[in-house]
Amino acid sequence: MKFIEKLLRIVHYSQISTKITIIYTLCFLALLTLTNALAWYGVYYALYQQAERTLVYSMENTKKLLEKLEQNANIDVNSIRDPLVAGVVLRVVDDKGRVFIDTDSHYPTVEQFDENIIKDPPFWTNDDMEVAQFTRAIVYRAKMNFTHDNETVTLQFFRTITAQMDFFDKLKNILLTVDVIGLLFAMGTGYIISRKILRPISTMTKTAQDIAIENMNTRIPVNPVNDELADLANTFNNMLNRLQVGITQQQQFVSNASHELRTPVTVIRGYSDVLARWGSTDPEIFKESVEAIQSETENMQQLIEQLLFLARSDQNRQPLNMQPLELSELVEDVFHKMRKTTHTHEIKMIRNEVATVFADKVTMRQMLRIFLENAVKYTPEGGTVTVDSARDGDYIKLSVSDTGIGIAKEHQSRIFERFFRVNASGSEHKVSGTGLGLSIAKWVADQHNSKIELSSELGKGTTISVIIPIYH
């Protein structure tokens, strides 16, 4: 038992190819053993059946002859040998056990047969017959009584299967040889097949070991055969593609964040040096330096907050308190605050229709403020920013339009990328910012199952709309 447990433990911790080889070998060996066993017992059964049939046929013919003997006393008693099938031996024994007819004296005697009778013969043996096992032979015996002139004798019919047993021994050796050869063949074939089947997995392992952050271009070759391993290879390659995109975005994100943070830090350090040298003696320099440091600090704080927001959203840790929200009240509140704080542009409201949406109030307000602040930022002084909120079936369309510098066609698909910023070519209206606002707005819209639409033309302004499902 301990040996079996140890063997099973070794198999459990072995390579998959070894397990496949063992399973394949065991299945093949079981099938081969079953086939050989059926062949073995089939031949064995046929030998017994052949002996039984010859005995039955001989007994039937002898019985017919004896019936004729009863009717015609002129029949020669020695003719009782005639009905016997070749290979069948007859012995006639009287009630005292004396043998007075024996067709083959070389057969074992009746006493020897009785001493070697098999107590538990094969289950298919005829119950009316007996089987004796000798060193090199198996002998069948069937009995039949005959009464003549008030004298009863016993006819004993014998049939040996010695020659067939020699064949059976040879067959047994052949089958054992075939089993050994089959076992070796199964082991070799199983090993080759398992190695071939698992070769793509080995390739995947090597590819995974070769992949590094600096080298994400390696991919697993996919066989044209559409099988499970091809699906696994495609899945692995798709995973690598996603990882490569994610790592590239992360590297770009870190690079852009570092670049954005470098500017305010450089400015703050520069003005700090100015303060250290001349701030105590020149009030103008002191005032200018402090104001610049405060401004850059606010910009840096805003950038850090935006970066933290995006980091939490990427990790699905940004809290959202989703509940029914009257959108018109939120739009009205953000609109009035924007108009009070903006004196360089005209802020107008066209429509603000009533509609209840299922949303997070904080992030929804943040998204609307980003749209309005961007509209003001990218519109020269004296321009107009328009807000329009109108129902459209089961949705409400909230639009913010401006008369600003517009966005070129080739840039419109990228404005929601992080840190992406663009100024109109040739425009004197320069814009500062981090390029993160619209990325945040896009994330908020996605979390609310909303769709953002953009319409813009250089020099004529931009309209950005968010289509929000109405809560029923």
Last residue of a domain, which of 279, 295, 314? 314
CB atoms within 10 A of CB 205: 11
Instruction: Write down the pTM of the prediction.
Output: 0.51
Give the mean pLDDT of 257-262. 68
Provide the pLDDT for residue 34.
82
pLDDT tens digits, residue range 140-158? 888 888 887 777 888 899 9
Provide the pLDDT for residue 172.
74
Long-range contacts from 241-247, C-beta under 8 angstroms, 24+ separation: 243/216, 244/216, 244/217, 247/213, 247/216
In a domain, 214, yes or no: no
Q: Which sign does the torsion angle of CA 273, 274, 279, 284 carry? A: negative
Examine the pLDDT at 232 and tell me if it is beyond 70.
yes
Examine the pLDDT at 218 and tell me if it is beyond 80.
no
In a domain, 197, yes or no: no
CA distance 162 to 123: 20
CA 282 to centroid of chain Cα atoms: 74
353 neighbors 390 (Cβ within 8 angstroms):
yes
CA distance to 318, 378, 439, 442, 444, per residue, from 322 (Å): 12, 32, 20, 17, 12
Do 150 and 247 reside in the same domain of the chain?
A: no
Which DSSP string corresponds to 263-332? HHHHHHHHHHHHIIIIITT-HHHHHHHHHHHHHHHHHHHHHHHHHHHHHHHHTT-----EEEEEHHHHHH
Residue 44: band (very low, low, confident or very high) from pLDDT cuts 50, 70, 90:
low
Do 309 and 255 reside in the same domain of the chain?
A: yes
Provide the pLDDT for residue 255.
67
Q: What percent of the chain has pLDDT over 70?
A: 84
370 neighbors 400 (Cβ within 8 angstroms):
no
Do 122 and 22 reside in the same domain of the chain?
A: yes
Q: What share of the chain is helix, strand, coil (3-state, %, to 5)?
A: 55, 20, 25
In a domain, 199, yes or no: no
Q: Strand pairing partners for 463? A: 401, 455
Higher per-residue confidence, 296 vs 153:
153
Residues with Cβ < 8 Å from 234, sequence gap 6 or more? 222
CA distance 300 to 290: 15
Do 288 and 338 reside in the same domain of the chain?
A: no
Do 67 and 144 reside in the same domain of the chain?
A: yes
Last residue of a domain, which of 249, 284, 314? 314
Residue 462 belongs to domain with CATH number = 3.30.565.10
pLDDT tens digits, residue range 54-71? 888 888 888 887 777 676
CA distance 318 to 402: 30
| CA atoms within a 13 Å half-sphere pointing along the CA-CB vector of 368 | 27
Do 155 and 250 reside in the same domain of the chain?
A: no
In a domain, 291, yes or no: yes
In a domain, 155, yes or no: yes
- Residue range of the domain that includes 233: 228-314
CA distance 78 to 100: 11
Do 283 and 399 reside in the same domain of the chain?
A: no
Domain count for the chain, please give it. Answer: 3
In a domain, 295, yes or no: yes
Do 307 and 328 reside in the same domain of the chain?
A: no
Residue 260 belongs to domain with CATH number = 1.10.287.130
In a domain, 190, yes or no: no
In a domain, 212, yes or no: no
Do 306 and 339 reside in the same domain of the chain?
A: no
CA 401 to centroid of chain Cα atoms: 50
Provide the pLDDT for residue 426.
47
CA distance 396 to 390: 6
Average per-residue pLDDT in the chain? 80
Do 345 and 394 reside in the same domain of the chain?
A: yes
Burial 157-174 (b: 16+ CB within 10 A, else e): bbbbbeebbeebeebeee
Do 158 and 111 reside in the same domain of the chain?
A: yes
Provide the pLDDT for residue 394.
93
Tally of residues, the chain: 472
Residue 248: band (very low, low, confident or very high) from pLDDT cuts 50, 70, 90:
confident
Last residue of a domain, which of 288, 314, 340? 314
pLDDT tens digits, residue range 390-408? 998 999 999 999 999 999 8
Burial class from Cβ neighbours inside 10 Å (0-12, 13-18, 19+) for residue 314 reads middle
Do 307 and 361 reside in the same domain of the chain?
A: no
CA 269 to centroid of chain Cα atoms: 56
Higher per-residue confidence, 438 vs 14:
438
